[in-house]
Amino acid sequence: MVVGVGWREELRKEGFLNVGDFIIELIYINCPCEPMPPALAIYDKKNDEWYRVDETAQANNYTEACDWAIEVIERIRRDEEVKIVGLDGPAPPKVVAKLRKALQKLPD
């Protein structure tokens, strides 16, 4: 994390967060020809696995996409139901618990 910058501002500026064993990346493509909803990708560095939040967000611009991503991260931190999936189906509960614990270490 960038010193002196909160995690929300870092996500807005950089488009990703490096949190413990995870990299969380907001994927937003501003394509005028075919609108694509934003996605939140999660890379587990320790296990070399990719996951994603399985939600379709409605966002018309990068600011709205960031707002959605921040809201999802905050829901994960609060232990609310957020569907996280990998290539083979739902993310293992141990991975979700480890992600939640890492996110809960972020300052409010």
**Domain residue ranges of the chain, discontinuous segments joined by +:** 7-104
Cβ–Cβ under 8 Å, residues 79 and 73: no
Cβ–Cβ under 8 Å, residues 11 and 17: yes
Q: Is pLDDT above 50 for 99? A: yes
- Which neighbouring-strand residues pair with 86? 89
Q: Tens digit of pLDDT for each residue in 15-34?
A: 999 999 999 999 998 777 77
Work out the burial of residue 58: count CB atoms within 10 Å of its CB; fewer than 13 is exposed, 13-18 middle, 19 or more buried. Answer: exposed
Question: Is this prediction's pTM over 0.85?
Answer: yes
Q: Is pLDDT above 80 for 5? A: no
State the angle between helix axes of 93-104 and 62-77 in degrees (0 to 180), rounded to the nearest 10: 100
As given in the structure block, the two tokens for residue 39 are 């996605």
Work out the burial of residue 10: count CB atoms within 10 Å of its CB; fewer than 13 is exposed, 13-18 middle, 19 or more buried. Answer: middle
Q: Tens digit of pLDDT for each residue in 51-97?
A: 999 998 888 889 999 999 999 999 999 999 999 999 999 999 999 99
User: What confidence category does residue 37 fall into, taking pLDDT thresholds of 50, 70 and 90?
Assistant: confident
Q: What is the pLDDT of residue 33?
A: 73
How far apart, in whole angstroms, are the C-alpha atoms of residue 37 and residue 29? 8
DSSP state of 92: P
